[in-house]
């Protein structure tokens, strides 16, 4: 249990939530995810005011695109930002029973709101995808966290034209490069950072999750599924636009570092081979990159889900980073890449449900199951 008091704060347009709405607020749900917009849901229980209106609705705070910020503190003493979101929807459930009328306010981060709000065609001549992503993030004052991509498209092959919303186009670029796309606020200063890069698999794990591990247990449940025949190699053919000669594109192994002892693809004998017939590659180099991306993506065959006791873990579990799991046996213990986290916060509880994946099974022997931040919990 955390030594310091736990609390959460809600800000509306950079101002604290009014006291009357704080009393009506029953729970908060934050869904952070890689590869999609993160979501926030505020659940209120409404009552009638003395002039007959519903008390919370009378304030009219939750207007379209009003910014909301959620901070939470458990054990560390420093409030950490979970999400910066913008109001998108409000759902009222009216009832004749006193106290049973409920309001749910739904907000999404920039990828689901302001970046998908205005559709403006744009041309990106001779621009690598990473340069395009950084420029789009910059339009919205989002700090780009971008790893450069190869300049696979030049005006000699094609001219890159954007016709979709900025968010939609970013998702297209991310899939083409096998990159991760998401927005995550800095936990302390709260500034949004736009992520466009491969999965961070070689960085130190953000923490240790333990199940059935005595006093160090902070996982209430953990489930693993291994789709053993999902990984596949890729062999494709492209045509040189100048000589018309066939050029092979080969991806027989994942280019991502294995997260366990046995990579998922190498466990299949004989290894499967996929022969894609139609792609949108603009050059042989891009076709080769797509083949490697396909092999790496299918190798993420081991999926996991679990529920973390937020008060025992004493900090938010972050998406886009690996985490160590111990307790479910040697085959399924080890590194997992966190793909999504759902925070459920109330006045007396905080749980974090997560999903993740890995591209290998077994322990490598290099895992260090020591959490330096567990000392404050």
Q: Look at residue 163 and give its three-state secondary structure.
A: coil
- For residue 319 the two structure tokens come to 């998406």
24's CB contacts (< 8 A; 6+ apart) are 44, 45, 46, 47, 55, 56
Model-wide pTM > 0.75: yes
Q: Specify burial of residue 306 (Cβ count, 10 A radius: 0-12, 13-18, 19+).
A: buried
pLDDT of 41:
96
For residues 219 and 324, give the distance between their C-alpha atoms in angstroms, rounded to a whole number: 12
Instruction: Provide the pLDDT for residue 231.
Output: 95
Give the pLDDT score at 138.
94
Q: Which two tokens stand for residue 285?
A: 């180099």
CA distance 308 to 90: 29
What tokens does 310 get?
């937020």
Whole-number pLDDT of residue 127:
84
Q: Chunk the chain into consecutive blocks of 10 residues (it has 377) and report each block's average pLDDT, rounded to whole numbers.
A: 66 88 90 95 79 60 93 78 94 80 92 91 86 94 93 68 91 90 93 95 92 90 95 86 80 92 94 81 79 92 93 89 94 95 89 95 91 62
- Among residues 17, 110, 124, the alpha carbon closest in space to that of 62 is found at 17
* 3 state DSSP class of 75: coil
pLDDT at 195: 97
Contact 219, 146 (CB under 8 A): no
**Confidence (pLDDT) at 169:** 93
Q: Write down all domains in the chain, each with its CATH number in brackets.
A: 7-114 (2.30.300.10), 118-197 (3.55.50), 212-226+302-376 (2.40.30), 233-298 (no CATH)
Q: How do 192-197 and 208-210 pair as beta strands? A: unpaired
293: helix, coil or strand? helix
């Amino acid at each position: 249990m955390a030594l310091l008091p736990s609390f959460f704060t809600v800000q509306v347009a950079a101002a604290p939530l009014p006291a009357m709405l704080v009393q009506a607020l029953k729970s908060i749900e934050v869904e952070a995810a890689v590869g999609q917009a993160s979501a926030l849901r505020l659940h209120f229980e409404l009552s009638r005011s003395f002039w007959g209106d519903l008390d919370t609705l009378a304030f009219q705070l939750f207007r379209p695109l009003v910014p909301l910020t959620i901070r939470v503190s458990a054990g560390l003493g420093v409030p950490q930002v979970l999400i910066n979101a913008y109001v998108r929807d409000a759902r009222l459930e009216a009832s004749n029973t006193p106290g049973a009328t409920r309001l749910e306010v739904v907000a999404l981060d920039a990828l689901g709101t302001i970046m998908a709000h205005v559709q403006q065609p744009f041309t990106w001549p001779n621009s690598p995808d990473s340069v395009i992503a950084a420029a789009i993030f910059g339009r919205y004052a989002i700090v780009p966290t971008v790893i450069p991509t190869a300049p696979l498209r030049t005006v000699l092959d094609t001219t890159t034209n954007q016709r979709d919303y900025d968010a939609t186009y970013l998702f297209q670029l991310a899939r083409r490069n096998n990159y991760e796309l998401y927005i995550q606020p800095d936990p302390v200063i709260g500034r949004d950072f736009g992520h466009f890069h491969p999965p961070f698999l070689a960085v130190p794990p953000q923490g240790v999750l333990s199940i059935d591990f005595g006093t160090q247990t902070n996982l209430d449940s953990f489930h693993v599924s291994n789709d053993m025949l999902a990984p596949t190699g890729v062999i494709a053919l492209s045509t040189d636009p100048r000589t018309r000669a066939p050029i092979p594109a080969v991806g027989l192994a994942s280019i991502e570092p294995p997260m366990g002892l046995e990579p998922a693809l190498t466990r299949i004998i004989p290894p499967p081979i996929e022969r894609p017939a139609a792609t949108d590659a603009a050059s042989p180099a891009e076709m080769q990159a797509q083949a490697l991306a396909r092999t790496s993506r299918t190798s993420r065959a081991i999926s996991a889900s679990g529920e973390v006791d937020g008060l025992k873990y004493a900090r938010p579990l972050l998406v886009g980073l690996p985490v160590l799991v111990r307790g479910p046996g040697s085959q399924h213990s080890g590194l997992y890449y966190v793909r999504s986290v759902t925070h459920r916060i109330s006045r007396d509880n905080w749980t974090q449900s997560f999903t993740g994946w890995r591209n290998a099974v077994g322990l490598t022997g290099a895992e260090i199951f020591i959490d330096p931040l567990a000392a404050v919990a």
